[in-house]
Structure 1
């Protein structure tokens, strides 16, 4: 008898009128323990109630459902959604019920994130994900209100432009892991976005005509990008390295692990920038040189 975790849900285990009950309840062990204690007190006072009638939906439960049922199959930003949820939204709101997350708590989240030096634009992307999770929760009958709609987004400074000098480019390349170097070089020489680059497959690369087909760009319209000599050399070299692999993946983390998630690049790029001692620089800034 007690509480236990099973398939990411906390359950309570108790006996009432000679019958054993095992029921999912609570977003955390603490909430499950409180629910069990309430039942035990009720049984002792002959005021037993069915805990399932008071069951509420955890934010973590709804967010995981959103990622698997909606984001994974409908959004090109699924990898970003998954990262922003697990790294930021889950620690902040994961153990709360949907109807316990208030505009005030979200405002506190904004303050805490910016206090850590996170840019307003980045925080806005996290809040946009939170807002859409609630939109789907309402649509699926799991919530009645969207608290994020009552929170004002940060005003973004879209005029920020950061260029790399030639010596900084060399430092960055020298500081990067081998798998990351061709990705950085392609970004510098084509102006392509990170997601566009790692989504490329060999059928998208025409070395004879010297063009790259971007099938799913941000604006939704496929486009062709010309290759300069550097980019043609990079893809030609990668083609020779991958000729014995029976798949269409271009970029690999190591010899047998293709790059499929943004998180694989994020950490490596951050380490390279820090090692090169380059200040105030992000992956998307690579596009500004083109």
Structure 2
């Protein structure tokens, strides 16, 4: 018969649900990040309905890909499609939850988000000044007090 201590150390970790990781994450988030309100909103609006009751071991890269596709097809509160930046934020938050669950010893498996290609950002602005705006800008710069 093996000692009890040995049996406890060799037991497989019980799988944990994402909602339980979120409960542990929230106090850490509030104490370590200024943007915790964004995480709170993003989790409740996007991640919770899809992943909250799933065990971390059962969420696959395919599930995350389906989530990304559904967000691309979905509409935000203003009736517009979600931007790649918004979708990327959700994947990054989910990935952070996995990483911290591993760090804290709540989960010992892989982070499926690392196998998923995050949407690329397109922040290029191609808007130019029209003639009236350019003239107005030049007048303001001509009269600006801090000239070099």
Is residue 159 from structure 1 mapped to residue 118 from structure 2 by the alignment? Answer: no
Instruction: Give the distance between the partners of 1:158 and 1:74, measured in 2 at CA.
Output: 28
Q: How many pairs were matched up?
A: 110
Closer/same/farther in 2, CA of residues 142 and 113 from structure 1, 3 Å limit: same
Instruction: Give the distance between the partners of 1:162 and 1:88, measured in 2 at CA.
Output: 31
Aligned to 2:16: 57
Instruction: Give the distance between the partners of 2:37 and 2:20, measured in 1 at CA.
Output: 18
Aligned to 2:53: 95
Q: What SS does structure 2 have at the residue aligned with 1:154? A: coil
Counterpart mapping for 1:1-290 below 5 A? 55-68=14-27, 70-116=28-74, 117-144=81-108, 145-160=110-125
Deviation string 1:186-229 (CA, Å, 9 cap, x unpaired) is: xxxxxxxxxxxxxxxxxxxxxxxxxxxxxxxxxxxxxxxxxxxx
Closer/same/farther in 2, CA of residues 73 and 54 from structure 1, 3 Å limit: closer
Aligned to 1:286: none
Aligned to 2:134: none
Q: CA RMSD in A?
A: 1.9
Instruction: Give the distance between the partners of 2:115 and 2:38, measured in 1 at CA.
Output: 24
Deviation string 1:126-153 (CA, Å, 9 cap, x unpaired) is: 1111111111000011122111011111
Shift of 1:90: 0.3
Q: What SS does structure 1 have at the residue aligned with 2:49? A: helix
Q: Is the 8 A contact 2:18 2:54 kept in 1?
A: yes
- Name which structure has the greater RCO, CA cutoff 8 Å, separation 6+: 2
Structure 1 runs (4+) deviating above 3 angstroms are 160-163
Instruction: Give the distance between the partners of 2:100 and 2:13, measured in 1 at CA.
Output: 22
Shift of 1:76: 1.0
Q: Where does structure 2 lack aligned partners over 5 or more consecutive residues?
A: 1-11, 75-80, 129-148
Shift of 1:160: 3.8
Shift of 1:55: 4.4
